[in-house]
Structures are given as structure tokens and as C-alpha cells.
Amino acid sequence: MCAWMAGRAAAAPRGPCGPWLCLLVAFALDIVRVDGDQDPLDPVYLPAALGLLDAPEHFRVQQMGRYPPANSSLGSRSETFLLLQPWPRAQPLLRASYPPFTTQQVVPPRVTDPHQRPVPWDVRAVSVEAAVTPAEPHARVLFHLRGQDWPPGPGSLPCARLHATHPAGTAHRACRFQPSLGACVVELEFPSHWFSQGSATRAELAYTLEPAAEGPGGCESSGEEDPGERALPVGSVELRPADPPQHQEVPLDEAVTLRVPDVPVRPGQLFSATLLLRHNFTAGVLTLRIKVKKGLHVMAARLAQPTLWTAKLDRFKGSKHHTTLITCHRVGPVEPNSSPLELSEFLWVDFLVENGTSGGVAVTRPVTWQLEYPGQAPEAEKDKMVWEILVSERDIRALVPLAKAEELVNTAPLTGVPRRVPVRLVTVDSGGALVEVTEHIGCESANTQVLQVSEACDAVFVSGKESRGARGVRVDFWWRRLRASLRMTVWAPLLPLRIEVTDTTLEQVRGWRVPGPAEGALEPEAAGVEEAERRARGCRLQYQRAGVRFLVPFAAHPLDGGRRLTHLLGPDWLLDVSHLVAPHARVQDPRVASLEGGRVLVGREPGVTSIEVRSPLSDSILGEQALAVTDDKVSVLELRVQPVMGISLALSRGTAHPGEVTATCWAQSALPAPKQEVALSLWLSFSDHTLAPAELYDHHDLGLSVSAEEPGAVLPAEEQGAHLRVVVSGAGAEGLPLHVALHPPEPCRRGRHRVPLASGTAWLGRPPAPTPAPALPSSPAQSLSPAPEASVGGGRRAAGSMGGSGDVRGKFEQTEEEAGKEEAEAREEEEEEGEEEMVPAPQRVTELELGMYALLGIFCLAILIFLVNGVVFVLRYQRKEPPDGAADPASPQPHNWVWLGTDQEELSRQLDRQSPGPPKGEGGCPCESGGGGEALTLAQAQAQAPAGGTTSSSGTLARKEAGGRRKRVEFVTFAPVPPAQLPEEPVGAPAVQSILVAGEEDIRWVCEDMGLKDPEELRSYMERIRGSS
């Protein structure tokens, strides 16, 4: 970099900033290198398993850029969970385990707004009436339990108590949840004096949950009627002093209008329909034809003005229909009216519904109306109006959809499995009865790009083809004349996935070999090979391993099409979906690395590849992360050991979401009791500043040994799983040190003794005061030395080992002779290992490497051609004489001048300077002969030029084209006066050095150009030139 900057500074104008700029760049690069070398180590934690039990749907979540403080210590771990569905059956359990120790706690109840108090049930309250009147002074509220299913027994569900607060007083009433639907309705009657204020007022509604009492009633009135701060809000209801009419008006023609009730009727109920006439109606006769089905009868026709009209009723019965004909005649005069377009009541028609016609289900009864009178428009005479009457044995007040959850996380694009939320439709009757509706239901989703509804209207779902999420997306349901809506929140993943790999560059671990076939080692073994070498040949190199997690944020889009997203938990929270996408994750090149269980990345051989997750629906890539496996060697610097003699657990609720739960567990490492089992948590610290828990590696590839200073203080524990455990007989008041060493597995060792790859020390109980270093240091510098070799000697006990190579020692002092002998053996083994590692393993050549090699070859070829050209140039021009001024290096530098003259003047000057020579040839043109004539004279003149002078002429011949002269550019040099000066040359005359060199070919060309082929013509031409000069 500095050389390049120096070259640029030399090419640029000189200034004071060049060297300083180079120093500044070097200093900046040095700072960047130092900062890169001092990267912080990865966070460490206790690798205990944390999981939820009896939780139907939950995710592990992580906040970007923030790690809990508990995840920076070997003895603790913290994780955050998100529970999406409530749990009315039982509180879920959160379990923490690190074998053989396990503990669990009940998850605290959810926190419900607005008072942030935990409630054991997730209840949805729906107010059925928005307004009440003195005729119907009942407020009805439906309570529904959301979440997972509950046991069918009646004793497990609570009671909901409704509290109404009005300026005139308070009212209370309770209901008990029905096990079949998990819902109940409270019908609270307001006192009559609440309506006597003359204007509309409002009453606030709230509810509380109470445990159900034993007995048939179940929900007894509590002693304290004031709920206080325990009540959860429902909403408000309006109290109106008058009952608004509930009817609809339908015009039969321009002059007659029909008014019918707009409420369901009960079997056996008598109701009336009203006929209205405009004031400008002048016809004297009006005939009304009514056709009804069986089960509905026309009982009577009553006139509003019997003094002006008379009515006659005729009935005709048929097999399917009954027809009633009402004929009205005017008997009084038409009274003038100032408002002829106003309507007035003319006729009341009374109907009766038969009992038992609906069978408990609401049905419709069509009624056909046809009107005839003189002067009616011809096109209106044949018009018929059909009015349908809703007949039901129940007084149905509302239709309510009940959803198991109102929040849905759309994981279908990640798994390909549709997500469904069951929906039930119930009707609320007068008196508080609930009836489920299963037939003749209609439904529709307001936005199918977010949420879909099933054809049977029994569930809403997402299939993975939806393009977005939303909050408050609406799904409409209808049954008969009743309609209802359900609001849902759908969270959609924001792709691509974020693949978190603890180490994206996996390197070869120095000195660590594991059982398995090596690359290229397929030759048959010789019969005389030793057993240790034969076993070692069946071992392969060990590469680093890394943990893998798949994270993705979930968000909801606004319904109005805006760009502002609402994130689940927050914009900096990610959900761990590793358990969902692990079956669809793979390594692009399985020869370079592999993914075990979707969570552990294992290096296989050097190369570059990537982890990718493909969609199970469209085979598109949902996320990708590049990684590399190199043959660079790293060492295990040390083992970080944490003794675990028990686990404690603490749970806390979060504030970002009602279902957020944070669990933190700690390892107990107090002074052990006699015969107490101790588990050891291990972390491997590598020389490339990375850390990895021992759980990432196969326990068969780990050769671990444990030793203690006191004889018999440590005994092997029964092997159960991959964790290292020992039994401690007891410890003193100051604690007991345990020394752990890591070796290659037993089949891949050479010799009986082996220097450990790394070692570490853990203290059981309180460590003593600072003392000189123990015999087994755990520092990185000393862990690689052969001193801790003593911890792996002595008798072997396979019961307490991992991978069949664990040792538990009672002594670790050795004599100097034994230590020296083992050190020599270790040195020989290291040399053998080095020789093995010098053998290159067969490697694949990738396309990128082929391209790089091709470019490198092209560059080398270009450099070779350049060098050859340079050598040829030097060999060709090395005999060229230097300029005259170059002979004397001490002479001053001559000045260069430019000679502007004609070819004839140059030729004349050359002829004037030459000395007399032999006579010219007389035969042939000197151009053709190539010798004699003027060319020979010029050659002789050049040969006779003084050698010591600084001026020289090249003997260039003039060229003259037909029709004009050519100007020439000559470089003239003023040189110092030579000691011997020719008399015809003036002192200080300029020396002319032509650019062109006159030769035989040039003279021939000049002769042909001038057209002088005869020697006599050429001779006369040269004489004329000499004479003119």
C-alpha cells in the first residue's frame, strides 16, 4: 500500500502531504487490524434445556442486538417464550433440565389490559344490545372462553358476573360457562327508574370472574357487590326512554305503500300489516289479493276510516295456498288536503301463525300481495310483491361467531401446512339461551389475500398462498336474516429468513481425529501393520462445529394499503422457527458440510457452500447463509468447566405481549455433600476467538478425563446420555478442584499416553485463597504444554468416560523420570502426526478456483512476453553508439535546437563538408548500382568525420516530391569546440543530426522519385546544387 502511494506521489507534483498520507493510511490499516484481532468472544451460557409443557402454540423469541445478561456466564441461561393461545384447561409448565437435574414451574397467568393484572382465563365479552328501551329493558352480554379445550366436567369452569353502573344505581347478575360451548349469557334487567330521566343515558358494563360454587346454581351472589379495580371493562349500553318502531315500508305502486313488521314472529302470535294511501288517491274501489301458505292465516281486515270506506273479506282455500280477497268501496266524499303526497293509514290486515310450524328452527313464510283499482297503470296491474315473514319458536336476539383464537400466526409459507382456527355460530335467545347453528350458513372473507374461510363456514384458515398479514381483518357470517362479523389478526412472516450461525468459517482442529473413514484411505492394510496404526488409519480429521438457528420477524400490514407495518412484539423481535423449517433446510454441497438435526452444522472437507431453506409450496429459497470450511488449523486453547450440582429456575412476565414469558435458570455449585453426583458443563475455547459447547460434538468423538488431587475423591457415575458426570465423595472447607482434560477418542490415539488437546479446572465449592499455580493449569498458554499429561495417566475406568476414553484419577503427582519419559513419547507422537498431516488430502477444484487459475496463467504469459520483448530490444540496440556528448560525462549538457530547412539545403551542406575522394564511377546510375557516385561520396564523408567531435551527421539524403519541396525538422546541438577543427567549419557551427539515415535504399528511392536515371543527369544536378551553395 505504501509502495503504491509512493509511486503515485512520485508521479504527482511533489508536496509535503505525500509521505504523511502514506503514514496515515498505514496507521489506519494497523488500527483496523488490531481492532479485528480483538473481537469479543461469543456469549457463553449454561447449555440447559428449557421447554414448555402443555402449551399448544408457542415460539422462542429473541431481541435483535440485545443478549440477556444471564447468557454471558457459564452458570446461567435465559430464554424468552411467546405463548399465543391462552390455556383455560391448566396452566402450562416450563421445565429446565441438565441431566441428571430437572426443575419446573407453573407459568404465571396472563396479564390483561387495562390494569395489567394476571387473570387465569382468557375471556371474550360481546354485548348483544347496543340500546335498550322500557319495553325491552334487558342488557345481554355473551362471555366466551378462548384458547385450548377444557374438560367436559361442570366443576372446572368459572362464573362470569356482569356489573352495570348508572347514575341512578348499580345492577349485578352472573352466569356459569357451559361446558359444551365454553360460553354463557348474562341477561341483566335494568330498573324502570333508570329510564325516567326524559333523555337517553348510558350505563357502563364490566365483569369479573369467580370460581363456581358447588351445587345446581353454581354462581351465588357474592357478599361484596362493588367490583372495584378487579372488574374488566365490556363497554356501554344506551338507555332510551321510548321504544323505536321496528318495521319496514314497501311500496306496492305509486299511490299505495305496505308497512310490515321487521322482527321475527312466534308461533301463535297475532301481528298486523298496514296499508297506506296517499291523499291524492281518488279511486272508488280498491281490491287487495293476498296469497299465503299453510300455517299462516288472514284473520281480519280493519279500516282506519270506517266512515269513508267499507271492506269485504273473502277466503279461498287451496291444496297448498290460501287466498284472501279484500274489496274496499268508498262511501264518503274525497276530502281536499293541502299535502296530497303524504301517506295516511288506510287498512290493517291481521295475521295469525299456527303453533308448532317451525319445529324450533326459524323458517320463512312468504306472503304475496297484489293490488287492483280503477285508473291503475296497466304495467302495475300484474305486479306482485312477495313479503317473507320469519317465524321462529325462539326469540332470537343476535347471531354471534365464536372463534377459538382471534390471533393467527401464518406459518404456512414456511411449512406448507395450512393453519386453521375453528369457528362456531351461536344464536342468543331471549332469556339467555345459547343454540349452535350448523345449517344454512353463509360466510365470506373481506380480504382473501390475508385470511380465508372454509366452505362449511366452520373455520378460518391460511394456506400459505396469502401475500400479507393484517390486524382486524373481517369475516362476515349470516344465517336467515341475521348477520354477524368476526375480526381476526393475522401475522405474516417477513422473508427472507435470517439464518444465525455461530461460526460461518469452520476450520480443522489441530491434533483431533475422530473415528471414520479418511478421504482416499481405501488401500488394503498390510498384514504386519500394528494394531494402533491400523486403528489410526480408520480416523478422519475433525473440523469445527457450529450451532444454527432460523429466525424471522412477523408483521401485520394496514388494511388501507399503507406501508407502515405492525410487528409482533416489536420491530426488533424475531421468532425462532427452527423447529418448523428444519426439515426443509439443507446444505447446498453436502460434501463440504452437513446439517445434523437441523441445529448443528458439521464441517466435512474444505470448500465454500451455503445453508438454504426452500419453500415446500413453490421450491423457492426462503433464506440462505454462506459458509466456508477451510483447512487452516486451529487449536483448542482451554476447556471452560462449570460444575452443576442442581438447577434453580425463575419466571417473569413481559410487557410487549400478554403471552411473553422469560425463563432464567442457574447452576447450583455449592459445597458438595458426600456421595453427591456432579455434572460438568464444558465449553471449548479455540484459537480463532470462538467458543462452542461440548454438546455440539458427538459424545463418541470426545475423550474426556477427570482427575482430582485427593485420592478417591472422584468416582465415575453411571453413563446416561452425553453429559459428563462424576460422583464426589466430599470436599473440604475450601472446596475441591477437578481437572478435566480433552483427548481424541481412544481408537484414534497413538501410544498409551497422549498429551491432551486442552484442559480446564473447576472448583467444587469455594476456591481457596490465591496460591501458586496447581499442577494442572487451565490457562491457554499452558494447556498445550505437556505438563497436564499427568491427568490422563494411571488406571482407566470406562464407566465414567465419554466416548470410551474417560479417566478418573486419585493422584496426579509424577516423578521426574516418568514425566520426562512421557514427554519424549509425546514429542515423537507429535512428529509422527506432523508427518501424517504433511500428506496432502485429495481436494476438489471448484469452478471459482479454475477461473482464478486461468487468470493467473494469462497474467504469467503476459509477463513472460513482456520480458522476452525487453531482452530482444536490448540485444538489438546494445551495439548502437551513444551520442557524442555521452562520451564525456563531465561535459556540460548541450542544448537542443530544431533545424527547419529543405532537403536540398541539407544535401548541399553534406556535399560541402565531404573531402575529395576517388573519382566517380562512369557506368550506370548510382541508384541502381548501389555503390559509386554521390552515395559513395557521402559514405566516405561519413567515414572521414572526426571521431572526437561532438557533432555528427547521419548522411541523410534529401527527398523531393514532384511539384514542391518538403520541409524537414532537424535536431541541432551546439557542442563545445573540439580541439581540432576543420578549416571549412566555422567555430561554434551547429551540428546537424538528421532524423532519417541515408543509405543505399534511400538514395535509390530519391533517384527514382526525382526521375534521374541517367548518370549524366544526376552528375549535372549535383553540380548545380554545389554551385548554388
**Tens digit of each residue's pLDDT (9 = 90 or more) over 377-394:** 777 667 788 888 878 777
In the prediction, which pLDDT does 736 show? 78
- CB of 605 within 8 A of CB of 519? yes
- CB of 896 within 8 A of CB of 973? yes
pTM over 0.75? The answer is: no
Dihedral angle, C-alpha 399, 404, 407, 412, nearest 10 ° = -120
Q: Which of 123-137, 615-629, 901-915 has the highest mean pLDDT?
A: 615-629
**Residue 521 CB partners (closer than 8 Å, separation 6+):** 537, 538
- Does the pLDDT of residue 356 top 50, yes or no? yes
In the prediction, which pLDDT does 134 show? 87
Give me the residue label for grid cell 441461561. 77
C-alpha cell at 697: 460434538
Residue 484 CA to residue 476 CA, distance in Å, equals 6
Considering the chain, what is the average pLDDT of its residues? 74
- Does the pLDDT of residue 610 top 60, yes or no? yes
In the prediction, which pLDDT does 57 show? 84
Question: How many Cα atoms within 13 Å fall on the side-chain side of residue 857?
Answer: 6
| Mean pLDDT within 23-42 | 41
Residue 171 CA to residue 189 CA, distance in Å, equals 8
Under DSSP, the state recorded for 802 is: B
In the prediction, which pLDDT does 27 show? 41
- Upstream peptide bond of 114 is cis (omega within 30 degrees of 0): yes
Question: How many Cα atoms within 13 Å fall on the side-chain side of residue 8?
Answer: 10
What stretches of 896-932 show up as alpha helix (H) in DSSP? 903-913, 926-929
Packing angle, helices 1015-1028 and 933-943, rounded to 10:
50
In the prediction, which pLDDT does 26 show? 40
CA-nearest of 165, 240, 239 to 207 is 165
Banded model confidence at residue 801, pLDDT cuts 50, 70, 90: very low
pLDDT tens track for 430-477: 888 888 998 889 999 999 999 999 999 999 999 999 989 999 999 999
Banded model confidence at residue 878, pLDDT cuts 50, 70, 90: confident
pLDDT tens track for 90-119: 678 999 999 889 999 998 876 655 445 555
Residue 949 CA to residue 940 CA, distance in Å, equals 17
C-alpha cell at 916: 575529395
Residue 502 CA to residue 487 CA, distance in Å, equals 41
Residue 726 CA to residue 249 CA, distance in Å, equals 89
- Upstream peptide bond of 100 is cis (omega within 30 degrees of 0): yes
Q: Which of 825-829, 843-847, 897-901 has the highest mean pLDDT?
A: 843-847
Give me the residue label for grid cell 315500508. 249
Phi then psi for residue 1022, to 5 deg, are: -70, -35
Q: What one-letter code names the amino acid at 431?
A: G
Q: What one-letter code names the amino acid at 410?
A: N
C-alpha cell at 600: 448443528
- CB of 379 within 8 A of CB of 396? no
| Mean pLDDT within 174-197 | 87
Residue 904 CA to residue 1013 CA, distance in Å, equals 18
Q: What share of the chain is helix, strand, coil (3-state, %, to 5)?
A: 20, 40, 40
pLDDT tens track for 622-647: 999 999 999 999 999 999 999 998 99
pLDDT tens track for 738-792: 889 998 888 887 654 467 899 999 887 766 655 544 443 333 333 333 333 333 3
In the prediction, which pLDDT does 393 show? 77
- Does the pLDDT of residue 670 top 80, yes or no? no
**What distances in angstroms separate CA 69 from CA 115, 502, 664, one per listed residue?**
29, 18, 10
- CB of 386 within 8 A of CB of 340? no
In the prediction, which pLDDT does 728 show? 75
Under DSSP, the state recorded for 958 is: P
Q: What is the DSSP string of 536-575?
A: HHTEEEEE-EEEEEEEE-EEEB-TTS-S--EESS-TTEEE
Provide the residue ranges of all domains of the chain, joining segments of one domain with +: 265-333+341-394, 498-515+536-638
CATH class label, 265-333+341-394 = mainly beta
- Does the pLDDT of residue 19 top 50, yes or no? no
In the prediction, which pLDDT does 91 show? 75
- CA 722 to chain CA centroid, nearest Å: 32
Strand 585-587 to 256-261 pairing: unpaired
**What distances in angstroms separate CA 439 from CA 421, 442, 452, 717, one per listed residue?**
19, 9, 20, 65
**Residue 539 CB partners (closer than 8 Å, separation 6+):** 513, 514, 515, 516, 518, 744, 747, 748
CA-nearest of 747, 766, 750, 751 to 804 is 747
Q: First vs last Cα of the chain: how many Å apart? A: 64
In the prediction, which pLDDT does 102 show? 93
Lowest pLDDT segment from 220-234, 289-303, 996-1010 = 996-1010
- 498-515+536-638 and 265-333+341-394 share a CATH fold: yes
Residue 587 CA to residue 1000 CA, distance in Å, equals 78
Element containing residue 708 per DSSP (H, E) = strand 703-708
pLDDT tens track for 494-540: 999 999 999 999 999 998 989 876 544 444 444 444 555 555 567 88
pLDDT tens track for 39-49: 444 578 999 99
Q: What is the DSSP string of 822-874?
A: HHHHHHHHHHHHHHHHHSPPP----HHHHHHHHHHHHHHHHHHHHHHHHHHHH
Residue 755 CA to residue 822 CA, distance in Å, equals 9
| Mean pLDDT within 605-616 | 94
In the prediction, which pLDDT does 957 show? 36
**What distances in angstroms separate CA 515 from CA 216, 512, 701, 829, one per listed residue?**
71, 10, 7, 18
pLDDT tens track for 966-999: 444 544 444 444 444 444 444 444 444 444 444 4
Question: How many Cα atoms within 13 Å fall on the side-chain side of residue 691?
Answer: 19
Residue 264 CA to residue 364 CA, distance in Å, equals 9
| Mean pLDDT within 182-189 | 90
C-alpha cell at 176: 356459569
Angle at 90 between CA 89 and CA 94, to 5 degrees: 140
Residue 408 CA to residue 410 CA, distance in Å, equals 6
Banded model confidence at residue 177, pLDDT cuts 50, 70, 90: confident
Phi then psi for residue 306, to 5 deg, are: -70, -15
Give me the residue label for grid cell 444471564. 70
- CB of 150 within 8 A of CB of 89? yes
Angle at 58 between CA 56 and CA 63, to 5 degrees: 175
C-alpha cell at 399: 347471531
CATH architecture observed for domain 498-515+536-638: Sandwich (2.60)
Under DSSP, the state recorded for 822 is: H
Give me the residue label for grid cell 484411505. 521
| Mean pLDDT within 614-621 | 90
In the prediction, which pLDDT does 925 show? 41
3-state secondary structure 140-184: EEEEEECCCCCCCCHHHCCEEEEEEEECCEEEEEEEECECCCCEE
In the prediction, which pLDDT does 46 show? 92
Under DSSP, the state recorded for 126 is: E
Give me the residue label for grid cell 276510516. 305
Q: Could you tell me what percent of the chain has a pLDDT over 90?
A: 33
- CB of 985 within 8 A of CB of 949? no
- CB of 477 within 8 A of CB of 484? yes
C-alpha cell at 59: 415460539
- CB of 446 within 8 A of CB of 418? no
**Residue 741 CB partners (closer than 8 Å, separation 6+):** 639, 704, 705, 707, 756, 758, 759, 776, 788, 791, 792
Strand 703-708 to 808-809 pairing: parallel
Residue 324 CA to residue 314 CA, distance in Å, equals 6
Residue 712 CA to residue 23 CA, distance in Å, equals 63
In the prediction, which pLDDT does 228 show? 63
Give me the residue label for grid cell 396452566. 91
Strand runs labelled E in 744-894: 758-764, 808-809
- CA 827 to chain CA centroid, nearest Å: 50
